[in-house]
């Protein structure tokens, strides 16, 4: 077979003419890209091309952006300090943006938030200072008389002071900022007294007074909050936001107080508490003056048919109050009962005691933070059902802890109980905002916070009086929570186990004119 010339190797181009190449296919004939710049106007010189701006130096650029300038000479220490300052500056800027978001700066909410944060910080610092004192050792290995004495001088006065705060708020028409600042200033004096009398019985009345003032601050804050709520967010989200900020501040300043306690002992942490309380008094006075405007407010009453011209609370509010009070009893019980049980079961092992208490307290802190974070983002259609669901979850957890006693179940009670307490409190705030007129909300918040503090005190008293056994304490607590759940459900259906404080009232009461 004869191959064609073009098919033979090496002769591909011999039998056929080469492909024709046109001149415009050469590079030298390709058209150049068209100049799209506009032609200069006759009689007007062409505009000069913009010159590139010189790049700012790193230190000047950082100064313009509000960041710390980098060091001139780079060393490991200087770079580490620079990065620390840079991260701190960014963190402070992010915190200020979060605190001033949604119009909080214009309404005065940010100023109240700073005061609440410092109150949480002072509480955490005092708790660190008193963690290893007679407060948690008086109920271990002591007689029943010592336990009763401890209860008398630490917990019982709460039940006498708390009911006075709510009605007093109704009579205080001006000076709520001053009352907040005064409570903080008195805590300064009591912290100094505790630091100077740390090793004698003078510690107890000073610590008691500081606790009462802290609870009074909480009640006063609840009455002021409706006056500083920005229009962009609801009252329940406002309270949840302040609680989240307060928990974060308590964690940070609690660690700082632990450092002072490690360096200078517990009196050093108490001096640090005095400094925090003094700063808090200054922040309280910076709250806007319009929180003092109480003209037209109508006091509230827990009775279904009050005697004076007061605003009666509706059925939904009373349901939320019963449920929240029962859950607060759980949190108060766990706060003191867990400390006594751990102290009794690990006698003489201070490091182990601190570790076990840290596990339970950490679980409760995570639950509180989680509950407030979730509650601030979600909208509940039926808040009273949410309260009942939280109470059911808390009861189920305590029953499990009674059947399977131990540290793990106690930590689970702390986690679930704190989460339920936060969600139930947000639901209570939502009910008060929806069911009560604006002129009665401040009084309602003050009275509701007083009831919640009484629930906490009752639970704390149980934690002191009951034997230091997990199963005994959680069994009694489960029975009381079951009674609280029964009363809450009965109130929602229009009945009551307690005469006069049940559901024999309308869902939304008729507003009362002042």
Secondary structure (DSSP) of 309-336: S-EEPPHHHHHHHHHHHHHHHHHHHHHH
Taking the CB of residue 362, how many other CB atoms lie within 10 A of it?
A: 14
250-258 CB contacts, 8 Å cutoff, 24+ apart: 250/120, 250/121, 250/123, 250/124, 251/124, 251/365, 252/121, 253/120, 253/121, 253/122, 253/124, 253/125, 254/121, 254/124, 254/125, 254/127, 254/128, 256/125, 257/124, 257/125, 257/128, 257/129, 258/128
312, containing H or E segment: strand 311-312
Which of 419, 362, 365 lies closest to 390, judged by CA?
419
Cα 168 from Cα 105, distance rounded (Å): 29
For every one of its 514 residues, what pLDDT tens digit does the chain have, with 9 covering 90 and above?
Answer: 445 555 555 444 455 566 655 554 555 555 555 555 555 555 555 556 666 555 545 555 555 555 566 666 666 676 677 677 777 777 778 878 888 887 888 888 889 999 999 999 999 998 888 865 544 444 444 444 555 555 555 565 566 666 666 566 556 656 778 888 998 999 999 999 999 988 777 777 788 788 878 878 887 888 788 888 888 788 878 888 888 888 889 888 988 998 898 888 888 999 999 999 999 999 999 888 877 766 677 888 877 777 777 888 888 899 999 999 999 999 989 887 887 788 777 776 767 777 887 888 888 888 888 888 787 776 767 888 899 999 999 999 999 999 998 889 999 999 999 999 989 998 898 888 888 887 888 788 878 887 887 888 888 888 878 888 889 999 999 999 999 999 999 999 888 888 777 878 887 777 776 6
Cα 403 from Cα 401, distance rounded (Å): 5
312 strand-pairing partners: 301
In this predicted structure, what is the pLDDT of residue 341?
A: 83
SS3 call for 427: helix
Q: Any residues with CB less than 8 A from the CB of 91 and at least 6 apart, and which?
A: none
In this predicted structure, what is the pLDDT of residue 479?
A: 95
234 strand-pairing partners: none
In this predicted structure, what is the pLDDT of residue 143?
A: 41
Question: Six-digit token pair at 84?
Answer: 């620390």
In this predicted structure, what is the pLDDT of residue 495?
A: 87
Taking the CB of residue 145, how many other CB atoms lie within 10 A of it?
A: 8
Which of 175, 273, 183 lies closest to 219, judged by CA?
183
Question: Six-digit token pair at 294?
Answer: 């109480």
Cα 232 from Cα 227, distance rounded (Å): 14
Would you say 356 and 407 are in contact if contact means Cβ atoms under 8 Å apart?
yes
Burial label, 224 (beta-carbon count in 10 A; 0-12, 13-18, 19+): buried
Question: Six-digit token pair at 5?
Answer: 């010339």
Cα 370 from Cα 379, distance rounded (Å): 15
Taking the CB of residue 275, how many other CB atoms lie within 10 A of it?
A: 14
300 strand-pairing partners: 311
For 248, phi then psi, to 5°, come to: -65, -45
Helix locations, 466-508, DSSP H? 470-492
376, containing H or E segment: helix 350-377
Cα 149 from Cα 274, distance rounded (Å): 27
Torsion sign across C-alpha atoms 229, 234, 240, 244: negative
Would you say 251 and 124 are in contact if contact means Cβ atoms under 8 Å apart?
yes
Q: Which residue has the tokens 């004119």?
A: 513
pTM of the model: 0.72
Cα 444 from Cα 298, distance rounded (Å): 10
Taking the CB of residue 169, how many other CB atoms lie within 10 A of it?
A: 27
């Amino acid at each position: 077979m004869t191959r064609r010339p073009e098919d033979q190797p090496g002769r591909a181009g011999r039998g056929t003419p080469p492909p024709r190449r046109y001149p415009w296919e050469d590079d030298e004939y390709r058209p150049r890209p068209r100049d799209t710049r506009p032609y200069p106007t006759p009689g007007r010189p062409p505009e000069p091309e913009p010159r590139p701006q010189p790049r700012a130096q790193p230190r000047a650029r950082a100064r313009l952006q509000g960041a710390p300038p980098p060091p001139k000479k780079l060393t490991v220490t200087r770079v580490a300090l620079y990065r620390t300052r840079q991260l701190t500056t960014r963190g402070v800027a992010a915190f200020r943006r979060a605190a001033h978001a949604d119009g909080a700066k214009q309404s005065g909410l940010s100023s109240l938030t700073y005061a609440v944060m410092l109150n949480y910080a002072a509480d955490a610092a005092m708790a660190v200072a008193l963690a290893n004192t007679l407060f948690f050792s008086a109920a271990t290995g002591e007689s029943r008389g010592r336990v009763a004495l401890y209860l008398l001088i630490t917990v019982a006065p709460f039940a006498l002071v708390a009911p006075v705060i709510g009605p007093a708020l109704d009579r205080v028409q001006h000076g709520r900022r001053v009352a907040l600042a005064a409570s903080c200033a008195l805590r300064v004096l009591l912290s100094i007294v505790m630091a100077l009398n740390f090793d004698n019985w003078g510690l107890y009345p000073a610590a008691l007074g500081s606790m009462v003032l802290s609870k009074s601050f909480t009640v006063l804050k609840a009455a002021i909050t409706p006056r500083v709520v920005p229009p962009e967010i609801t009252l329940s989200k406002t309270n949840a936001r302040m609680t989240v900020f307060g928990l974060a501040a308590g964690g940070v300043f609690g660690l700082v107080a632990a450092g002072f306690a490690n360096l200078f002992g517990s009196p050093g942490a108490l001096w640090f508490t005095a400094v925090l309380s003094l700063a808090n008094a200054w922040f309280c006075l910076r709250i806007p003056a319009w929180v003092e405007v109480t003209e037209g407010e109508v006091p509230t009453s827990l009775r279904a048919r009050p005697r004076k011209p007061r605003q009666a609370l509706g059925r939904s509010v009373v349901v939320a109050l019963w449920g929240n009070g029962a859950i607060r009893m759980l949190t108060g019980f766990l706060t003191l009962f867990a400390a006594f049980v751990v102290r009794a079961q690990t006698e003489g092992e201070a490091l182990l005691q601190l570790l076990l208490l840290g596990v339970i307290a950490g679980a409760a802190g995570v639950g509180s933070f989680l509950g407030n974070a979730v509650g601030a983002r979600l909208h509940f259609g039926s808040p009273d059902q949410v309260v009942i669901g939280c109470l059911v979850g808390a009861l189920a957890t305590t029953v499990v802890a009674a059947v399977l006693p131990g540290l793990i179940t106690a930590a689970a009670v702390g986690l679930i109980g704190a989460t339920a307490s936060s969600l139930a409190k947000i639901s209570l705030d939502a009910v008060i905002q929806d069911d009560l007129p604006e002129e009665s909300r401040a009084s309602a918040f003050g009275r509701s916070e007083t009831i919640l503090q009484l629930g906490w005190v009752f639970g704390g008293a149980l934690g002191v009086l009951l034997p230091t056994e997990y199963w005994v304490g959680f069994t009694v607590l489960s029975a009381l929570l079951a009674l609280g759940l029964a009363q809450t459900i009965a109130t929602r259906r229009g009945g009551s186990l307690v005469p006069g404080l049940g559901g024999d009232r309308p869902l939304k009461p008729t507003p009362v004119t002042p």
